[in-house]
Amino acid sequence: GMVTKKTYTIGLVIQDIRNPFFPKMVSGVEHVAYNHGYMVLLCNTDEDLNREKDYIATLREKRVDGIIITVSNGIDRAYIAQLTKGDIPFVFLDEIAEEVNCVCVDNTLGAYQATKHLIQLGHKHIACLSGPSTSITNLNRVDGYKKALMEAGLPINKDLILKGSYKADSGYKSAESILKDFPHVTALFCANDFNALGAYKAVVAHGKRVPEDISIVGFDDILDIPANHFAFTSVSQPTYEMGQAAATMLMDMIHKKPMNEPFMTFEPKLIVRDSTSSPL
């Protein structure tokens, strides 16, 4: 029969090494891999799909035993089909696609919790600063936002749902246009904390205060600055556990163990801090 030689290496492709969201996730993957005698090759794409494709091709050439990707063009079916053909097992971490084994947080629930928190504080005009429209993770967050509004009987205004990216400059631009065009808005739900940080800077640059004039909720819980500094209300993801789960799933696939959960969803948790309050 065919001789397959293991390299005891796995690839881990992440989209932004400078986003504090990722280190714990990488650490969860690495700990599990190490315990199984595997080494992790870390690839950073800076959210560039071409770099992602290059890295995956190179990891295949290097004959890694499996690959974990934290982001992918979730709705680009052709790309996913191309990814999953071939004999290397893949796990999607944080992003989801039906064809692939996945580990993610319940993004809809997290966004729902965040928006509901704003509604309970008394906000009626809440904008949504969304992330990349190719990301299912992001689309689910937009769904969660809408769900909370609908449940509270508040109208969904498409003009208040802004498209963007997961970078701070996107949050800045989106917040700026909301402040300019929709002065009645008192709260922003942001698809991630980099967006929230950009939005915060825009609000302050326009002479307004957070949370007195504008409340801001983010996603990821990376702006949890301790002590007396200003910390953000955010939806926390169990990133370490998610990394561990993805690596465990990949190890099971590499060792051809029967898979009982090809799709694992973790619970998000809203952490209320200084960036949200009732509208004045």
Chain positions contacting ligand RIB, by CB under 6 A: 19, 21, 94, 137, 166, 192, 194, 219-220
Least distance CB 80 / ligand RIB (angstroms): 16
Bridge partners (DSSP) of residue 270 are 235
Least distance CB 239 / ligand RIB (angstroms): 9
Least distance CB 220 / ligand RIB (angstroms): 5
Least distance CB 21 / ligand RIB (angstroms): 4
Least distance CB 196 / ligand RIB (angstroms): 10
Instruction: Using the minimum distance from each CB to ligand RIB, give the nearer residue, 88 or 268.
Output: 268
Instruction: Using the minimum distance from each CB to ligand RIB, give the nearer residue, 19 or 215.
Output: 19
Least distance CB 203 / ligand RIB (angstroms): 20
Instruction: Using the minimum distance from each CB to ligand RIB, give the nearer residue, 88 or 217.
Output: 217
Residue 240 buriedness (CB in 10 A; 0-12 / 13-18 / 19+): middle
Least distance CB 132 / ligand RIB (angstroms): 8
- The dihedral region occupied by 239, where left means phi > 0, alpha psi between -120 and 50, and beta the remainder, is alpha
Instruction: Using the minimum distance from each CB to ligand RIB, give the nearer residue, 141 or 146.
Output: 141
Give the DSSP per-residue string, the chain. --------EEEEEES-TTSTTHHHHHHHHHHHHHHTT-EEEEEE-TT-HHHHHHHHHHHHHTT-SEEEES---TT-HHHHHHHHSSSS-EEEESS--TTSEEEEE-HHHHHHHHHHHHHHTT---EEEE---TT-HHHHHHHHHHHHHHHHTT----GGGEE---SSHHHHHHHHHHHHHH-TT--EEEESSHHHHHHHHHHHHHTT--TTTT-EEEEEE------TTS---EEEE--HHHHHHHHHHHHHHHHTTPPPS-SEEEEPPEEE--TT-----
Instruction: Using the minimum distance from each CB to ligand RIB, give the nearer residue, 166 or 172.
Output: 166
Instruction: Using the minimum distance from each CB to ligand RIB, give the nearer residue, 94 or 252.
Output: 94
Residue 275 buriedness (CB in 10 A; 0-12 / 13-18 / 19+): buried
Instruction: Using the minimum distance from each CB to ligand RIB, give the nearer residue, 88 or 136.
Output: 136
